[in-house]
Amino acid sequence: MNENDHQLMHRCRAGDLSAFDSLVNRWRAPLARILGRLLATGSFTAWATDVDDLSQEVFLRVFQSKQNYTEAATFSTWLYRIAVNVTRDAARRKRTRDKTVDQLQPPAAPAGPEEAVCRDELQQQVGQVLAGLPANLREPLVLRHFGGLTLAETADVLGLPVGTVRSRVGTALVQLRSELHQRGITEKDLPL
């Protein structure tokens, strides 16, 4: 049952829904992680329901365009390209909505010692700074750092030259560190 993604997509194209189930179960968590990072912009943090909706939309597009899938690239590249497009569409739609920080879902309350509280606070700050990056810097950084893609695959997903992706990822990392320094957070604050 250790079929790779290409084999599963081949079965899915033949009409086997169980193969599609396997693909969704395999890629649901990584996709949700990427979508959560791509969807968070500015002061807006991604809701779990938003991520769920976008995951459904991404897998819906995968199902609808399964005949267009080719084995020229990896499945993750194809999936993340769809995810980036879906996220961009969602961001375009989201501009019409007005959500404030007060309406946001609060982070999960840590039921633990003080270190866990500090760690969550640090994660929240880093997440906010990451969400505050411009989309053209955040997308390659999220795909490379959280999606596990190589820089070349990230460039393929975004349709950009590899050199541009490298420059943007570097700029995003530098800008991230600079913003966190302004908030008084350095890498020394990271838990060991």
Partner 1 sequence: MNCQECQQLLVAQIYGEVDENSAGIAEHCRQCASCAAWREDISAGRQLLNCLSQDDGETAGTSNADRPATAMVLPLLLQAEQQRKRRWRRAAVAVACLFGLAWVCQLVQLRVVFDNSSVQLHWGSASAQLVASSVTPPDKPATSPPEVTRADVSQLTAELQRLRSELLDMQVVQSDQTTAVASQSALLADYKTRLDVNEQLITLAGRQSLEVSQQLASLQGRTEAVMLRERTRWQHELGELRELGDARWRLLVHRLDYEFPERFSMVSAKPPTTP
3-state helix, strand, coil in the chain (%, to 5): 70, 0, 30
- 37 vs 80, beta carbon nearer partner 1: 37
Q: Is 21 in the site for partner 1 (CB under 8 A)?
A: yes
SS3 of 160, please? coil
Taking the complex as a whole, the smallest distance from the CB of residue 101 to partner 1 amounts, in Å, to 15
Question: 52: number of CA atoms within 13 Å, CB side?
Answer: 3
In terms of Cα–Cα distance, which of 67, 60, 56 is closest to 28? 56
Residue 50, token pair as written in the block = 């938003």
Amino acid at 145: H
- 33 vs 81, beta carbon nearer partner 1: 33
Contacts to partner 1 by CB under 8 A: 17, 20-21, 23-25, 28-29, 32-33, 35-37, 40, 45-46, 48-52, 55-57, 59-60, 63-64, 107-108, 119, 122-123, 126-127, 130, 141, 144-146, 150-151, 163, 166-167, 169-170, 172-174, 176-178, 180, 185-187, 190-191
